[in-house]
A and B are shown apart, each in its own frame.
Chain A
């Protein structure tokens, strides 16, 4: 049995940053990261898009080997394929996650964390001073004793369950996703495309995220309960046949996007949950990569603080949860309501809305004018607008480091 101060379960972006930050903030503490898969960063189950500002909080993307494509445009596509350009500046990047996460893991290792791949946490129970975590690998079964466990083990998280937290997801908050890496397709390689449509992707949206010229992550997410009985892959096949007939398929991946709001409890005694394991995806956009890193950073800091204070109780770790809620979690409550409202709109309304917005000249296309025009011409949007403008608490500034 090996004893460590912090055991991070899961080597995705959240887990890597948690290990990095814990090792950085608690020099001398032992930090170990366990990754189930043989390689950090693979397999990719993600459209790989990040905002420029989000990723830059952690690493400089310009010229980095883990960037596949710089994105300068966002194009919303109506159900009838009308394209509505909505932003054109420094939007973000499509990453190569098979290189991005290894870069994060290297930073964690340089800060003093130990990264073990092909090592799966298989169970966990409360011991005298912290947790006893069972792990399996080709080396055989081993037992770890950890004062703090960070559960960054994704949508299939078990750490939360083992710690007695309620991590169950309702079917209405689960988006089923399917994605191809397509080649030989025609699209603007500087733009990401998002198509909202009940016909093509009920309860979610379809996307094109370019990895290069003629190569893109092309996928969609659906809510199974809102569909016609076909699964996500079948919906994707229909959409690809419609939009990119003749494209070459390089890879397929299935995925899950939990569009629920953050778990009401993300902490237990000696445990913090991070990223997908804590339901921290933006419920409106489905984006979760930067969110997981932000949560990982908070969890790493609070792990270091709790060790320093000699108090790893749930009550003391609760500050992690509170700071996450102030940073993004509270906004997600609002995004979740907007998402529900948007899903109530018919394809006909979305088609008309797209033409209304396109009739506004580009340079006059301010958010306020778009809203005003949309509401005047499409009164059925009022319920959506009511939710959009519903009172919400102001977001606090980023919390200071503890």
Chain B
């Protein structure tokens, strides 16, 4: 479900992110990637489920306002 309806999307705080990759396999649509340039969230792929937020070991993920 692309982000056309103005729903919340995951945001990463790059100052906090330790690049452990934990959130990547939690993301059903595959919106989160960990590459050599760090963690990226594709807002157009994020379905706003929020399942990546609580498990982040360092609290680097949050949801944008819808």
Q: Name the contact of A256 in the complex, choosing from B22, B35, B59 (C-beta under 8 A).
A: B22
A229 nearest CB across to chain B (Å): 8
The answer to whether the Cβ of B43 comes within 8 Å of any Cβ in the partner chain is no
* Chain B hits for A169, CB < 8 A: 25-26
Q: Chain B, 23-61, contact with A by CB distance < 8 Å: what is the 0/1 string?
A: 011101010011110000000000000010011111100
How many pairs, one residue from A and one from B, have CB atoms within 8 Å of each other in the complex?
A: 80
Known: A118-B36, A232-B58. A254 touches B26 (CB 8 A): no
A167 close to B51 (CB less than 8 A) = no
> By the criterion of a CB under 8 Å from any partner CB, how many residues of chain B are at the interface?
20
The answer for the CA separation of A222 and B59 in the assembled complex, in Å, is 14
Residue pair B57, A157 in contact (C-beta under 8 Å): no
A231 touches B57 (CB 8 A): yes
Interface residues on A, range: 20 to 34
A155 & B22 in contact (Cβ 8 Å cutoff)? yes
**Counting CB contacts under 8 A, is B18 at the interface?**
yes
**Chain A positions within 8 Å of B21 at CB level:** 154-156, 256
Chain B residues positioned under 8 Å from A171 (CB to CB): 26, 51, 54-55
Q: Main SS of chain A's interface residues?
A: mixed
Q: Is A145 an interface residue (CB 8 A)?
A: no
Question: Top 4 nearest A-B pairs by Cβ distance?
Answer: A156-B21, A256-B22, A232-B57, A254-B18
Q: Indicate if the CB atoms of A161 and B36 lie closer than 8 Å.
A: no
Within the complex, what minimum Cβ distance (angstroms) separates A251 from chain B? 11
Q: Compute how far the CA of A122 lies from the CA of B55 in the bound complex, rounded to whole angstroms.
A: 25
Q: Is A258 an interface residue (CB 8 A)?
A: yes
What are 17 contact pairs spanning A and B, CB under 8 A? A120-B36, A136-B35, A156-B24, A157-B25, A158-B24, A168-B28, A171-B55, A174-B25, A174-B55, A178-B58, A225-B54, A229-B54, A232-B57, A253-B18, A253-B20, A255-B22, A255-B57
Q: What is the chain B residue whose CB lies nearest that of A277? A: B25
CB of A311 closer than 8 Å to a CB of B? no
Most A CB within 10 A of own CB, among B34, B36, B57, B58? B57
Question: Would you call B25 and A176 a contact (CB within 8 A)?
Answer: no
Which of B24, B35, B56 has a CB less than 8 Å from the CB of A36?
B35
Known: A36-B36, A171-B51, A253-B20. A176 touches B26 (CB 8 A): no
Kindly list chain A residues whose C-beta atoms are within 8 Å of the C-beta of B18: 252-254
Q: Is B25 touching A255 in the complex (CB atoms < 8 A)?
A: no
Kindly provide the distance from the CB of B28 to the nearest chain A CB, expressed in whole angstroms: 6
